[in-house]
Amino acid sequence: MAVEDARARLLTDGELAWVYGPRRQELATVVVDQAVKRGDVILRDVAGASPSEIVRVIKPDLDSHTRRGNLA
């Protein structure tokens, strides 16, 4: 992932992020690389994504109490 794109998504190198493709979603480790052009993402070992498809990379929301369910 490009440095600017990672910064906009508040992602750091080595952090987990959701990768949403057209057929599935999965967690992947983020690698920030200065050689990648802005807006481009290089996927490695992510099943269900082809080179010509659009994917979304999103930081997981682990701090929100609404995502954890009822703990009481």
Tell me the domain boundaries of the chain: 1-61
Tokens 């609404």 belong to residue: 66
Query: What is the structure's pLDDT at 68?
Result: 54
CA angle 6, 19, 52 (to 5 degrees): 95
Tokens 């807006």 belong to residue: 39
Range list of H helices, 1-72: 3-8
pLDDT digits (tens, 9 = 90+) for 2-55: 999 999 999 999 999 999 988 888 999 999 999 999 988 888 888 777 778 888
Yes or no: domain 1-61 corresponds to CATH 2.30.40.10: no
Query: What is the structure's pLDDT at 61?
Result: 82
Query: What is the structure's pLDDT at 71?
Result: 52
Residue pair 31/65 in contact by the 8 Å Cβ criterion? no
